[in-house]
Amino acid sequence: MSSARPLTTPDGRLALRLLEEAGEKGLSVAEMRAEGLQMPAQALYEVELAGWPLVRKSGRTRLRPADAPPPKPFEMPPKVRLVPRG
């Protein structure tokens, strides 16, 4: 991805390399820890801030393919009005 900024920490670079190697399968937090990441969530956050889009599903994280459509925007659930019981 050409628009992504370089990663500045060793954990960020390791997280990106692991995600690229995992491909469609993605990685769980436990797998990232087993590969040597001390703080996987922080490393993934750095990867995202650098411009690499991630997909999180069923406890696994993977890089979003460049040709994938953008994710749907989050929709707020309808507000529910509470009625006091009489």
Q: pLDDT truncated to tens, each residue of the chain (86 aa)?
A: 446 777 888 999 999 999 999 998 999 999 999 999 999 999 999 999 998 899 998 899 999 887 777 777 778 888 887 788 87
Domain assignment of residue 33, yes or no: yes
Identify the CA nearest to 54 among candidates 64, 46, 44: 64
pLDDT value at position 3? 61
Domain assignment of residue 1, yes or no: no
Contacts (Cβ under 8 Å, ≥6 apart) of 77? none
Between CA 23 and CA 17 the distance in angstroms is 10
Domain assignment of residue 27, yes or no: yes
pLDDT value at position 19? 94
Number of domains in the chain: 1
pLDDT value at position 27? 94
Q: Is 7 helix (H, G, I), strand (E, B) or coil?
A: coil
Q: Which two tokens stand for residue 34?
A: 């087993």
* Residues spanned by the domain of 47: 10-62
DSSP state of 27: B
pLDDT value at position 80? 82
61 φ/ψ angles, rounded to the nearest 5 degrees: -125, 135
Domain assignment of residue 81, yes or no: no
Domain assignment of residue 4, yes or no: no
